Chain A
Amino acid sequence: MVASRFMPLDGANAVSQAMRQINPDVVAAYPITPQTAVVQNFSQYVADGIVNTEFVPVESEHAAMSACVGASAAGARVMTATSANGLALMWEMLYIASGMRLPIVMTVVNRALSSPLNIHCDHSDAMGARDSGWLQFYAESGQEAYDNTIKALRIAESKELLLPVMSCQDGFITGHGVERVGLLPDEAVREFVGSYEPELYLLNTDSPITMGAWDFTDYYFEHKRQQTEAMNSAMPLIEAVSQEYESLSGRPQPILDCYGMDDAEYAIVVLSSTAGTTRSLVRQLRAQGKKVGVLKPRLYRPFPAAQIVECIRNCKAVAVMDRAISFGAPQGMGPLFTDITSALFVAGICDLPIVNYIYGLGGRDTTPPMINAVYDDLEEIASSGDRGDLVRYVGLRG
């Protein structure tokens, strides 16, 4: 283990610091709130000669991801960052990056998608991209955003995986919130990520190849099957890299961050910063003798289905909190809920009382009393045996 140096950093700056330490070959990016700070800080490192990255200031996010795809195919280590509508504009290239098996690492500082126009946090941007073939980490804090960024690079570039990774954190809440962030020594990060040595890349003139070629009816299906297999079997690799990073940093890097879950009767499953709010409340409720717990998956794609089922199966009632709506899904549930209920069904668990709470859309504050009310609901559901509304809303007027 090496000692970290602690600095007051906002979540965006924490990621910029990770990118500075990684010193990627190419960063192509376009500014969008609340991601702007990530590449703004990083471009200063480029201007000051602190990193030797080729920084490509492009004209849109469509061009940003296109440049990333080109640079990665050429053999470069590539990183970028975006938010919300910028991520939406990258859509086409997200699938091209994953389909071409390019290990690009992108920070997504989560923000609500327009319309109506809103720059604040929810997960509708990244959740929409959950089927795009990118791995997705969600960070509770600037510290986790920093740690996830470094792990993401190692995982993405692993020869047995070769898939792009989104490292997400909550816009403004952690993205612009200054906190105490421990940075590993530069050389420790450099050693951890190593040098990027792709086996197949376009600038290798000794061994010319074609990438992104036409794939006809006779081959496309096989390539997609291979791609989904890479994602499906990524978990041992993610666990191994997380374990290695945990040993290096001394900071726990679980796939599932559980608090009070060992004997919890009432559990909340929630991603990112709201898990912190929930944990502080759980601590208070536990002091009052209530058996409550909170489960925060740090990884959403690939979905740790079996681990989540194992964690919540013995609860009396469970609430899944979604910071996004999957419009048109049954009763308008959120994506995390559909994944967890599907995992439970596949595991043969159909009698667990479980409900969905949509919260925090467009940056709406989610306070401890609101989460307390969710735990109260769960107790009521378990005692009455009546699940009531499947999809509920936290902090919504009316």
Chain B
Amino acid sequence: MTTKESPRLDKPWQSVSPGGVVTDVGNSVAYITGTWRTLRPIRDMEQCTQCLICWIMCPDSAITVEDGKVAEFDYDHCKGCGICAERCPVNIKRPHSYTGELGKVIQMVPETAFDTDNA
């Protein structure tokens, strides 16, 4: 039922859907909102307790879970709101695997630290 075709930005006005009716239901998946992000959440997988609080809290369903465990961030749709990092209940004992800082398992890193738009 759903398709994953991205919104076409080359579509002329003559062929857009009249009234903005969306006939392709569930197509918000195809809308890449990850480009809006200025801060990227990074998880220290080794110190994560798999409580899944981040997965519950994420407003964009951008944390994927496999076999009952958090797997990775969906950076195509993560807008970098930081709720996962804010609500992460685990205060890590060792420095974070990416930032080297103490604090939470999930920490927000400025996008300027990365070369590419997405992950």
Residues of chain A whose beta carbon lies under 8 Å from any beta carbon of chain B = 99-102, 162, 200, 207-213, 215, 218-219, 221-223, 225-227, 229-230
Contacts and interface: CB of A to CB of B under 8 A. Distances in A.
B25 A210 contact: yes
B113 interface: no
17 contacts: A162-B19, A207-B23, A208-B25, A209-B21, A210-B21, A210-B22, A211-B20, A211-B21, A211-B22, A213-B20, A218-B7, A219-B20, A222-B13, A222-B16, A223-B18, A223-B19, A225-B13
Contacts of B14: 226, 229
A213 B22 contact: yes
Interface in B8-29: 9, 11-14, 16, 18-23, 25
B115 to A, nearest CB: 26
Contacts of A211: 19-22
B23 A219 contact: no
Given A222-B11, A226-B14, A209 B23 contact: yes
Contact of A101 (B9, B12, B19, B23): B19
Contacts of B9: 218
A209 B19 contact: no
| 3 nearest CB pairs, A to B | A101-B19, A210-B22, A222-B13
A249 B52 CA distance: 71
A133 to B, nearest CB: 11
Contacts of B11: 222
Given A208-B25, A210-B25, A223 B20 contact: yes
Nearest to A208: B25
Contacts, number: 54
A79 to B, nearest CB: 19
| Dominant secondary structure at the B interface | loop
Given A101-B19, A209-B23, 9 more contacts: A208-B25, A211-B21, A213-B22, A218-B7, A218-B9, A219-B7, A222-B11, A223-B18, A229-B13
Given A218-B7, A219-B7, A226 B13 contact: yes
Nearest to A159: B18
B20 A215 contact: yes
A207 B1 CA distance: 10
A211 B9 CA distance: 20
Nearest to A201: B21
B19 A99 contact: yes
B20 A200 contact: no
A270 to B, nearest CB: 35
Contacts of B13: 221-223, 225-226, 229
Contacts of A100: 19-21
A229 B25 CA distance: 26
A101 B23 CA distance: 15
A297 B11 CA distance: 38
Nearest to B1: A208
Contact of A162 (B12, B16, B18, B22): B18
Contacts of A209: 21-23, 25
A225 B25 CA distance: 24
- Residue among A162, A222, A225, A227 with the most chain B CB within 10 A? A222
A74 to B, nearest CB: 13
Interface string B18-55: 11111101000000000000000000000000000000
A306 to B, nearest CB: 23
Contacts of A101: 18-19, 21
Nearest to A200: B21
A227 B9 CA distance: 19
A312 to B, nearest CB: 34
A200 B18 CA distance: 10
A224 B23 CA distance: 18
B72 to A, nearest CB: 27
A209 B20 CA distance: 11
Contacts of A227: 19
A215 B7 CA distance: 11
Contacts of B25: 208-210
Nearest to B9: A218
Contacts of B20: 99-100, 211-213, 215, 219, 223
A200 B23 contact: yes
B27 to A, nearest CB: 9
Contacts of B12: 222
